[in-house]
Chains A and B, each alone.
Chain A
Amino acid sequence: MQRRSLVKAALTAATLTAFGATAAFAENPVLKIGFVGVTSGPAAAWGISNQRSMEARAAWINETGGYTIGGTTYDIEIVSFDDQKDPKRAIAGMEKMAQEGIHYVVGPNVDDGAAAVRPVAEANDIMYFPYAFPKELYSAPASNAVLGMIANYQSGPAIYKHLMDNEGVKTVAFIAANESDPLSQRDSGVAAAKELGLEVVSDNVTYQVDTTDFTPVLTPILRTRPDLLVLSGVSPANAPQLLRSARELGFEGMISTETAQDAGVLAEGAGDLANGFISVGGASTPELASPMMNEFVERYTSMFGEYNDESNTKVYALEYILETLKATPEAIDDVAAFQASMDGFEAPNPYMNGDEKLKYVGMTSFGQKRQIAVPLVVNVYQDGAFETMFIARVD
C-alpha cells in the first residue's frame, strides 16, 4: 500500500511537472534560431564561443520576458548542431535545421562547411551567418549568407599598412596550417601584402594542426629574417606554440594574425613571449563596450564559468537576426523579406557606447550588403591582456 502511494505520488509529481513545464514554456511562443558549427575537436573553441554566446543571450532574453517581434513576444530557443568541422556533417546539420522549420542559422565556422551548406540553405529558405571568408558566398547570385565577422582580406591589409607606416615593416613571411581556411587566408594575405608593396620573403611553409614541435617548422622561415611574420588563420590552440617557438629561436620581428585570439590562452601558453603579438580582437574594447556588453560578459561568465574574448564578436549574429526580424516582422517566415530589408536596416548597437548602429555592410568586398557591421579592432597583446592598437570600419 505504502509502495503504491509512493508510485502514485511520483506519477502525480511527474505529471504536474510536465504540465507545469509545458505551461511555463507555453507562456510565449518559441522562436528557434539554429547554430551549425564546430564544437568538438581542435577548432572547438571557435564554435563553442558561438554557441555559448547565443545561449547566454537567449537565456538573458527569456529571463527578461522574451523578445517582441510584430506584437508577439517570443522565447528564444537555440538549436545547435556540431558539424565537427566536416562539410558532410555541416550539410546534415543544415538539413536538420530545415526539418525543424528554422529560417535563421548562425555558422558554419569554416570555409568548406559554409560552402557545402549553401545549396541546402538556399533550397530551404535559410539565412545563415557563417564565419568563413570565400567571397562567392556573399556575392551575387548568392544571397542567403551573411558574413558574421571581419574577413582576413579586410583586416590583413589594414594591419600591414599600419605596420608599414608606423613600424617601418618592409619584408613579410607567411606560415599557415595545411588546411583549407588557413591556406586561403595565407594566399589572400600574400596578395594583399604584395599589392601594398611589401616584399614577401617566405610564403610556402605550412604545418599540420597537430604539430607538437614548431622549431623545425619555423627555422627555415626565420632564416629569411622577415620584419613581420604572419600566422595566417592560426587557431587559438596553435598560436601560443608558434609564438613561443619563434621567440625561442631568436626572432625579434613583429608577429601578427588576422584571426581572433584569447588573452588567457596566450598568457598560459606563451607568457611574456607573446608580448607584441598583433591580432584581430573581438569587436569590443573597454572603451567601446557598453553597459549591455559588460552585462553580457558577466552573464556568459556566470553561465559557463569562463568568458571567451571571441564572444565579443560572436554575440552579434543573434542580435542582428532578432533586430532585423523586429524591424521586418514578416521576415520571421519569409527570408525574401529579410533580404529585402537588409539594405536599409539600421538599429542602435546595444553593445557599443555612443551612437553606433547595427547595419549590414559589404558593398566594397561583395557588391551587396551581406556582412554584419562590427568594428575592426586590432589588438596587441601585452603582459596578459590585449591593448587596442587601432580601430577601423569596414564597408
Chain B
Amino acid sequence: MANGVYLGSQYAMIALGLTLIFALMNVLNFAHGQMYVIGGFVTYTFYGQWGVPFVLALFMSCITLAIVGALIERYLFAPVIKGSAREESTMLLAAGIAFLLDALILLIFGEKQRGVPKIVDGVFNWDFRLIMPYDRILICVLAILSIVAFIALMQYSKTGRALRALAQDRTAAQLMGVNVDRYSMIGFALGAMLAGLVGGLLVTITGVNLGMGGPTSIKAFMMVMIGGAGVISGAIWGGFILGFMEAFGLAYLSQYGDITYLLIFVSLMIFLAIRPQGLMGKPWG
C-alpha cells in the first residue's frame, strides 16, 4: 500500500504535465520523458555536483524546463500548429524533439547513470511490516504537495482559469479575450516544468540516466490513457492506479515471474475496449 502511494504520487506528477499539454494544444508530447530526464540532470548538476541546496537545485530544474518548454512551444509547436491542421505533424515534431533532446543530453551530461547524495538518511521500520526510507516518504509528501499546489493554481488563479478555458474551447476562450498564443506557451512551459520538477525530485531516489526518457514517456501515456486524455483529475487517477497496480503486482505476483506488466497491459487493453475515453475522459474528446 505504501509503495503504491509512493509510486502513484510520482506517476501522477509525470502524467499531469503530459495531460496538460495535450489538453491545451492537442499535442502528444513524446519528448515528455526527455524533459523529465533533463530535470533530473539539472538537479544532479546543481545539487550533486556543485553542492547547491537541494531546494534551490529543484527550483533550477523547474526554471530550466519552463524555459525549454516555452521555447519549444514558441518556436517549434506554435508554427507547426498554425501551418498544419494534421495531427501527425505535431506528433512527428514531438518525436523529433525527443530524439534531439536525447542527443543533447548525451552530449552535455554523458552516458552514465548519475545519482545524488541522499537528502534524508534513515529508514522508517514499523515492526518489519512497513519499511520505507525517510527520503522516499519525503519525496512522496513533496509530490503530493506539488499536485495539490498545481490543482490550486489551475482552480483559483487567473492563469489557471485561462488555461482551463483554453483546454475546454480554444475558440470560445479567444472570443472571451484570452490571449491564446501567450497562454499556450505558459501551459506548455508549465507542463514541461512539472516534468522537470518530478525529474528533480526523483533523482534523489532513482538517479537519472540518458535512457530513462522513452520508458518514462510510455508510462506517462499509459496513465493518461487510463485516466482520460486531457483531464487533470484523470492523470492523477491514472498515476495512482498504475502505481498501485505495479506495487501490488510486484508484491504478490513476483513468485510467478515477471507478469505484473503483462497483466497491466492486458487490463489496459480490456479497459480501453470497454471505455476508450478513459476513466474521466469524455467520449467526444
Contact = CB atoms under 8 A, between A and B. Distances in A.
Interface in B243-283: 246-247, 250-251, 254-258, 261
Contacts of A48: 111
Interface of A: 39-45, 48, 178, 204-210, 212-213, 215-217, 219-220, 236-237, 240-241, 248-250, 262, 264-265, 268-271, 305-306, 308
Contacts of B257: 204, 206
10 contacts: A40-B210, A42-B209, A42-B210, A44-B211, A204-B254, A206-B257, A208-B215, A212-B10, A237-B211, A241-B206
A211 B100 CA distance: 24
A237 B250 contact: no
Interface string B84-122: 000000000000000000100010001111111110000
Nearest to B2: A215
Given A45-B111, A217-B254, A208 B6 contact: no
Contacts of A40: 102, 106, 210-211
Contacts of A43: 211
Contact of A216 (B111, B133, B251): B251
Nearest to A47: B111
Nearest to A215: B3
A43 B205 CA distance: 20
Given A44-B106, A204-B255, A236 B112 contact: yes
B258 A240 contact: no
B7 A212 contact: yes
4 closest A-B pairs by beta carbon, nearest first, are A42-B211, A269-B115, A210-B215, A216-B250
Given A204-B255, A249-B123, A269-B114, 12 more contacts: A40-B211, A44-B111, A212-B205, A213-B136, A213-B206, A216-B247, A219-B251, A220-B255, A241-B206, A248-B133, A269-B207, A306-B110
A130 to B, nearest CB: 19
Contacts of B255: 204-205, 220
Contacts of A269: 113-115, 207
Contacts of A213: 3, 6-7, 136, 205-206, 247
A311 to B, nearest CB: 12
Contact of A268 (B110, B114, B210): B114
B137 to A, nearest CB: 12
Contact of A39 (B111, B206, B209): B111
Contacts of A264: 112
B15 interface: no
Contact of A240 (B202, B207, B215, B256): B207
Contacts of A249: 123, 131
Contact of B131 (A39, A209, A212, A215): A215
A236 B131 CA distance: 25
A205 B250 CA distance: 9
A212 B257 CA distance: 19
A245 to B, nearest CB: 8
B149 to A, nearest CB: 22
A185 to B, nearest CB: 15
Contacts of B170: none
A226 to B, nearest CB: 15
B251 A248 contact: no
Contacts of B160: none
B112 A308 contact: yes
B214 A205 contact: no
A41 B211 contact: yes
A316 to B, nearest CB: 20
A268 B251 contact: no
Contacts of A41: 210-211, 214
Contacts of B128: 250
A250 B251 contact: no
Interface in B1-47: 3, 6-7, 10
Interface string B185-214: 000000000000000001001110111101
B233 to A, nearest CB: 23
B219 interface: yes
A148 to B, nearest CB: 19
A178 B247 CA distance: 17
Contacts of A209: 215
Given A249-B131, A268-B116, A210 B219 contact: yes
A268 B3 contact: no
B164 to A, nearest CB: 30
B118 A262 contact: no
B61 interface: no
A17 to B, nearest CB: 25
Contact of A241 (B3, B207, B258): B207
